[in-house]
Structure 1
Amino acid sequence: MRLVVFGATGGTGEQLVAQALAAGHTVTAVARRPEAVTAKHARLTVRRGDVFDASSVEAAIAGHDAVLSALGSGTSRAPTTICRDGVGHMLTAMERCEVRRIVCVSAAGLGDGELQPWPLRMFMRHVLQPLLRHPFDDLRAMEVRLRESSREWTIVRPPRLTNGRRRGRYRVAIDTPLARAATISRADVADYVLAHLDDPATVRALVEIAY
């Protein structure tokens, strides 16, 4: 497939690019600073782009089969609209370019923690969600835009991300909470995303994933 990756310089985005290339896909990595994309491959194109700029988003998406978003605010806890506006521009561009498939990485912390152990549930509600209120508000707004769109979207909600190795083994729950969801590596989030691009069970669905 011809894949375009936004957020390609973050930890999850780097894994998406590397694993997609290894799987034989043709990849366009979009970054505000193209020099920050260190991967080199004959099937890799690096494009300068800003997700707040609708025209550059559309130029990057044109001609592709699917859009992958690993956008995020990094370690910042300040108010932001990078995910809401960035994915909003992607969805508009996808309609104009007749691209149907999009997968976006969100966060398990947006949930209510209903099935989590009591200490983790309390931590999520009283520490994590207040601490990351602004980034989580942005992700919620992104998810609303996806749900309201006509595209074939999938939202992937991982818990705490690690830089661990790719195991290829993890638990998932589609459109239902995942119990005891504590951690997963960025490498395995990318593994799941790429393995389920053509999975109809994940289309217009929310997927929780963890070890």
Structure 2
Amino acid sequence: MTTLVVGASGATGKQLVQQLLAMGHKVRIIVRSPEKLPKEWNKNDNVSIIKAEVLNISLDEMAGHLKGCDAIASCLGHNLTWKGIYGQPRKLVKDATRLLCEAHKINMLQKSIKFVLMNTTGNQNRDLNEHISFGERLVINILRLLLPPHADNEKAADYLRLNIGQMDSSIEWVVVRPDTLINQDKVSKYEIFPSPIRSAIFNPGKTSRINVSHFMASLITDKALWNEWKGQMPVIYNIES
């Protein structure tokens, strides 16, 4: 299998590439700064590195990068700096999601492609009418107004939910929602739920980046797991010992 990964230079994106390689995948990576990647990837025949800013790639060029790919995985996010949060591009994740989907459709392939998008538990799955408290709803409304990255995550997931939907013949998708991200060295036990089981604002759980990457890679690799979660927005938590 070949997976195109965007956001591979980030903390979770690097872990995802490692997991995919460990599962026997070939990986194509689009990154603005290849020097941030592990040096051993340059010598790995299963890794192809494309130096570019995702949103500067034309539709036809992206279609070319997607030829031969079985899956797309996005770990894109905004840098936690003033420029990263409030500068351009404010709709990085959503616009990249749209670009990748439209580029795949240009190829007019017979088989569908899998799209796995990393998101956040702070974003509700409105297909399920997930209940949150008044206080949490108030905080999320404020975040939506004051923090462009939160609104970007919502719009990216909504693009898959509403524009691609459940019946598209060429794209199947899963939106993975981790809670508070932490660093761990090894994959540990984790749980997957259709919706949050705790408040993302007032009682957040923890999810290690390596567990997120393991779940995303497993979705792409494991047909039964994919069929269980496709078209959904599963939430992932570490199992607390």
Could you say which TM-score interval applies, normalised by the shorter chain?
A: 0.7 to 0.9
**Which of 82, 101, 110 in structure 1 is aligned with 2:92?**
82
Change (3 A) 1:123 1:143: closer
Q: 1:132 to 1:94 in 2, by over 3 A?
A: farther
- Superposed, 1:153-172 pairs within 5 Å as 153-172=173-192
Q: Is the 8 A contact 1:67 1:103 kept in 2?
A: yes
Q: Which structure would you say has the larger Rg?
A: 2
Alignment deviations for residues 70-105 of structure 1 (CA, whole Å, 9 cap, x no partner): 011121321611011111000001212335210000
Aligned-residue offset at 1:171: 1.3
Structure 1 segments unaligned to the other structure (5+ residues) = none
Of all paired residues, the percent bearing the same amino acid is 24
Letter in 2 for 1:100: I
In the alignment, the residues of structure 2 paired with residue 35 and residue 10 of structure 1 have an alpha-carbon distance, to the nearest angstrom, of 12
CA offsets 1:156-176 (integer angstroms, 9 cap, x no match): 0111111112334111112x3
Provide the rounded CA distance (Å) in 2 between the counterparts of 1:210 and 1:124.
24
Q: Does the residue aligned with 1:71 lie in a helix, a strand or coil?
A: coil
Greater mean alpha carbon deviation, residues 160-169 or residues 66-75: 160-169
User: TM-score normalised to the size of structure 1?
Assistant: 0.86
User: Counterpart amino acid of 2:193?
Assistant: A
Unmatched 5+ stretches in structure 2: none
Give the corresponding residue for 1:58.
Answer: 63
Query: What displacement does 1:196 show?
Result: 1.8
* 8 Å contact from structure 1 (residues 182, 210) kept in 2: yes
Question: Between Structure 1 and Structure 2, how many residues are aligned?
Answer: 207
RMSD: 2.6
Normalised to the residue count of structure 2, the TM-score between the two structures is 0.76
CA distance 1:115–1:9, change in 2 (3 Å): same
Letter in structure 2 aligned against 1:188: N
Q: Shift of residue 127 of structure 1?
A: 10
Partners of 1:49 and 1:60 within 8 A in 2? no
The answer to whether the 8 Å contact 2:5/2:73 transfers is yes
